[in-house]
């Protein structure tokens, strides 16, 4: 142990806060948690619909942008991430999806049995405090509060019934591990109208422990190696250089930052490091490669007047909703970004859903300069391929930690991804055309009925699609030597450093990624503690 710390955790996001919570359960373990951003003091962070203000505030976000590529219509796309205590869990849409049990069994097949659903299901059970109570892999007494929407909008209920009409199984808990096609209300990391970030759930309860030190405003530049052993981090705080040592360093900076720290430290593609004058500690082509993202499209329909929440989210209606929220912590301001979801198979031969459709009782104005709703009544469905095959890269541009990484998503380069998106968009149209949802619909407004052929729909996806802020894979875990981290998350070719965040997933979890980041960190803590 150096500087008195057993572990330095780099990044206080979804994974980093879980690690801090779990590792400091042992009073003899001393942990330093470093966060580049500041405290999570933005007044809109706890307010569920306040995400629209926080996720565009540069003081709380990493300004990641993709390179212009054909897959995104040659326009840079925001891959912003939270830069504050709580990381992206402080700015995200609060949809709580655990991924499919088969995702983790597939992960175990390329890593180790340590990552099977048996273990991850147990991790979820331990970390959750779910409104629906305990079940085989659902928890009722963990730190993370999960709830279901208390408002049941008729148009959302109609969408769920339309899913049933198309053959989907209605589930009270869409996260139940049976991986069949399903539809139901979407669980959220919200409790009594307040966001449950990784801080609320994990860091706040741990902060009183004397063995946990938290520093904010500290941006880690690189690791210092003695031979192959990482012994310290070099960081910058208010322009001043810091050197902080520990027995082991746990990188939890997220999919863009963890590979960047490794690359600046001399662990990464040899040609990249050499071009930037960085001495190579361990050449690894996989550091920053294998990046996957859920590039979806928000489809919208105009609905009958009064059938959506748009009127309650603008003008006088918004003022009334805000007053209601202030008085009761209820109403549309207390709701998450999506109220329901459908997980569907686009081909009969599939054994499990390959597409997620999230359903919201409002529609977004894509012409407004701030995030706001359309003037007329509308609904939106966010539609995406759950397990994209196209992979991209993340690479540092310089040795300067203040320079954000270069991101090349290479969307749609795998033909299978294009086919799945076409089927997904067409499925969403079938859902909206099915009774009883069809009775609410006036017309499709996005992309619009003029987009019909394969080429037109792919063009719509290129023009109107967006990354869902779920990117994974830049420090992939694997039992093969080429993987960045081994099945215990140790960085290959080095000692004393692990990666624990969304970057470790070699394939995307089938759903939103906050839950999987937390469950992976929970499981990682078992492995790290077991190794002591």
Ligand X SMILES: Cc1cc2nc3c(=O)[nH]c(=O)nc-3n(C[C@H](O)[C@H](O)[C@H](O)COP(=O)(O)OP(=O)(O)OC[C@H]3O[C@@H](n4cnc5c(N)ncnc54)[C@H](O)[C@@H]3O)c2cc1C
Does residue 196 belong to the site contacting ligand X (CB under 6 A)? no
Tokens 């959302």, residue located: 156
Q: Are 175 and 189 in contact (CB under 8 A)?
A: no
Given the complex with ligand X, which of 32 and 431 has the nearer CB atom?
Answer: 32
- Taking the complex as a whole, how short is the minimal distance between the CB of residue 415 and ligand X, in angstroms? 26
Examine residue 88 and tell whether it contacts ligand X (CB under 6 A): yes
Q: Which of 6, 8, 11, 127 binds ligand X (CB under 6 A)?
A: 11
Query: Which residue number, 16 or 412, has a Cβ lying nearer to ligand X?
Result: 16
* Residues 247 and 496: beta-carbon distance below 8 Å: yes
Q: Can you tell me which of 501, 507, 523, 528 binds ligand X, judged by CB under 6 A?
A: 501
The Cα–Cα gap between 58 and 514 comes to: 21
Cα–Cα distance for residue pair 55/51, rounded to 1 Å: 6
User: Rule CB under 6 A: which of 454-483 touch ligand X?
Assistant: 469-470
Instruction: Rule CB under 6 A: say whether 175 interacts with ligand X.
Output: no
- Contact 133/313 with Cβ under 8 angstroms? no
Instruction: For the CB of residue 91, give the shortest distance to ligand X in the complex, in Å.
Output: 5
Q: Could you give the CA distance from residue 317 to residue 49 in angstroms, rounded to a whole number?
A: 14
Task: Find, among 112, 122, 8, 33, the residue nearest to 488 by Cα.
Answer: 112
According to DSSP, the β-strands at 194-195 and 190-191 are antiparallel
Q: Give the nearer residue to ligand X in terms of CB position, either 252 or 373.
A: 252
Work out the burial of residue 500: count CB atoms within 10 Å of its CB; fewer than 13 is exposed, 13-18 middle, 19 or more buried: buried
| Distance of closest approach, residue 214 Cβ to ligand X, in angstroms | 12
Query: In angstroms, what CA-CA distances link 327 with 42, 310, 320, 323?
Result: 20, 21, 11, 6
> Which of 144/464 has CB closer to ligand X?
144
390 part of the interface to ligand X, by CB under 6 A: no
Q: Is 95 in the site for ligand X (CB under 6 A)?
A: yes
Stretch that binds ligand X, among 9-17, 38-46, 385-393, 475-483 (CB under 6 A): 9-17
Regarding 91 and contact with ligand X (CB under 6 A), the answer is: yes
- Minimum distance, C-beta of residue 507 to ligand X, in the bound complex (Å): 15
The Cα 35–Cα 436 span in angstroms is 48
Binding of ligand X by 257 (CB under 6 A): yes
Closest CA to 197 of 151, 134, 143: 143
363 is a contact residue toward ligand X (CB under 6 A): no
* Interface region with ligand X, contact rule CB under 6 A, candidates 137-145, 343-351, 383-391, 513-521: 513-521
Residues 6+ apart with CB under 8 A from 431: 159, 162, 163, 166, 342, 357, 381, 437
Q: Name residue 78's beta-bridge partners.
A: 65
296 lines the binding site for ligand X (CB under 6 A): no
Residue 11 or 311: the one with the smaller Cβ distance to ligand X is: 11
Binding-site member from 5, 8, 9, 14 for ligand X (CB under 6 A): 14
Q: Is 359 in the site for ligand X (CB under 6 A)?
A: no
89 makes contact with ligand X (CB under 6 A): yes
Phi, psi of 5 (to 5 degrees): -100, 135
Q: Restricting to residues 32-51, which ones interact with ligand X according to CB under 6 A?
A: 34-37
* Least spacing, CB of residue 432 vs ligand X, in Å: 22
Do strands 128-130 and 144-146 pair parallel, antiparallel, or not at all (unpaired)?
Answer: parallel
Asked if 179 touches ligand X (CB under 6 A), the answer is no
Q: Sort residue 210 into left (φ over 0), alpha (ψ -120 to 50) or beta.
A: alpha
Q: 175 vs 257, which CB is nearer to ligand X? A: 257
Contacts of 305 (CB under 8 A, 6+ apart): 376, 377
How does 464-473 read in b/e, with b if 16+ C-beta sit within 10 Å? bbbbbbbbbb
Instruction: Assess whether the previous peptide bond of 249 is cis (omega < 30° from 0).
Output: no
Instruction: In angstroms, give the least distance from the CB of 99 to ligand X.
Output: 10
To the query of whether residue 282 is one of the catalytic residues in this protein, the response is no
The minimum distance between CB 224 and ligand X, in angstroms, equals 14
Under rule CB under 6 A, how many of the chain's residues touch ligand X? 44
What is the nearest approach in angstroms of ligand X to the Cβ of residue 167?
26
Of all residues in this chain, which one has the CB nearest to ligand X in the complex?
13
In the set 71, 139, 193, 253, which binds ligand X (CB under 6 A)?
A: 253
List 130, 294, 461, 470, catalytic entry: 470
Site for ligand X, residues 16 to 35, rule: CB under 6 A: 16, 34-35
Stretch that binds ligand X, among 251-259, 326-334, 366-374, 416-424 (CB under 6 A): 251-259
**Please, which residue, 311 or 332, has the CB nearer to ligand X?**
332
Task: Name the residue among 464, 469, 498, 81 with its Cα closest to residue 291.
Answer: 469
Should residue 252 be labelled a site residue for ligand X when binding is judged by CB under 6 A?
A: yes
Question: What's the distance, CA 123 to chain centroid?
Answer: 18
Q: Which residue do the tokens 């959750």 mark?
A: 128
User: Of 194, 277, 243, which Cα lies nearest the Cα of 34?
Assistant: 243
**Does the protein bind ligand X through residue 10 (CB under 6 A)?**
yes
Query: Which member of 9, 45, 94, 123 binds ligand X (CB under 6 A)?
Result: 94
Q: Is 186 in the site for ligand X (CB under 6 A)?
A: no
Site string for ligand X, 48-67 (x = CB under 6 A): -------x------------
144, containing H or E segment: strand 144-146
User: Which positions lie near ligand X, rule CB under 6 A?
Assistant: 10-16, 34-37, 55, 80-83, 87-89, 91-95, 97, 218-220, 252-254, 257, 261, 337, 401, 469-470, 501-502, 512-515, 517
Annotated active-site positions, please? 470
């Amino acid at each position: 142990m150096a500087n008195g710390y057993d572990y330095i955790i780099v990044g206080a996001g979804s994974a980093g806060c879980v690690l801090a919570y779990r590792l400091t359960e042992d009073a003899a373990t001393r942990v330093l948690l470093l966060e580049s951003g500041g405290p999570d003091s933005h007044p809109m962070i706890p307010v569920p619909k306040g995400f629209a203000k926080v996720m565009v505030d540069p003081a709380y976000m990493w300004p990641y942008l993709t390179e212009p590529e054909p897959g995104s219509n040659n326009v840079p796309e925001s891959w912003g991430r939270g830069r504050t205590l709580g990381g992206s869990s402080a700015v995200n849409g609060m949809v709580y999806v655990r991924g499919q049990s088969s995702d983790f069994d597939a992960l175990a097949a390329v890593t180790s049995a340590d990552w099977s659903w048996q273990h991850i299901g147990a991790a979820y059970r331990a970390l959750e405090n779910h409104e629906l109570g305990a079940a085989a892999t659902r928890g009722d007494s963990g730190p993370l509060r999960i709830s279901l929407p208390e408002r049941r909008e008729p148009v959302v209920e109609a969408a769920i019934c339309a899913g049933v009409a198309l053959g989907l199984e209605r589930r009270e808990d869409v996260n139940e591990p049976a991986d069949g096609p399903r539809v139901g209300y979407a669980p959220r990391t919200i409790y009594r109208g307040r966001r449950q970030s990784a801080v609320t759930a994990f860091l706040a309860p741990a902060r009183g422990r004397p063995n946990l030190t938290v520093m904010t405003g500290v941006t880690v530049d690189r690791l210092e190696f003695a031979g192959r052993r990482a012994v310290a981090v070099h960081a910058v705080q208010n322009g001043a250089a810091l050197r902080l040592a520990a027995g082991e360093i746990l990188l939890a900076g997220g999919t863009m930052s963890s590979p960047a720290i490794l690359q600046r430290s001399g662990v990464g593609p040899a040609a990249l490091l050499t071009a930037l004058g960085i001495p190579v500690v361990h050449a690894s082509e996989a550091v920053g490669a294998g990046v996957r993202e859920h590039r979806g499209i928000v489809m919208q329909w105009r609905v009958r007047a009064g059938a959506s929440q748009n009127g309650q989210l603008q003008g006088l209606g918004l003022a009334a909703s805000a007053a209601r929220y202030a008085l009761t912590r209820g109403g549309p301001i207390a709701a998450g970004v999506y109220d329901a979801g459908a997980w569907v198979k686009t081909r009969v031969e599939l054994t499990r859903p390959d597409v997620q459709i999230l359903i919201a009782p409002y529609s977004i104005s894509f012409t407004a300069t701030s995030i706001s709703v359309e003037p007329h009544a509308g609904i939106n469905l966010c539609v995406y391929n759950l397990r994209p095959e196209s992979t991209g890269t993340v690479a540092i541009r310089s040795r300067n930690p203040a320079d954000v990484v270069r991101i090349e998503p290479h969307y749609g380069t795998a033909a299978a991804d294009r086919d799945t998106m076409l089927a997904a968009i067409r499925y969403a149209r079938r859902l909206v055309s099915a009774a009883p949802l069809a009775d609410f619909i006036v017309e499709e407004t996005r992309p619009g009925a003029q987009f019909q052929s394969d080429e037109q729909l792919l063009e719509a996806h290129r023009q109107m699609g967006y990354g869902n802020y779920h990117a994974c894979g830049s420090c992939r875990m694997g039992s093969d030597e080429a993987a960045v981290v081994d099945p215990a998350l140790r960085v290959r070719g080095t000692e004393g450093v692990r990666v624990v965040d969304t970057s470790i997933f070699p394939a995307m979890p089938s759903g939103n990624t906050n839950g999987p980041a937390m469950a992976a960190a929970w499981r990682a803590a078992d492995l790290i503690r077991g190794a002591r």
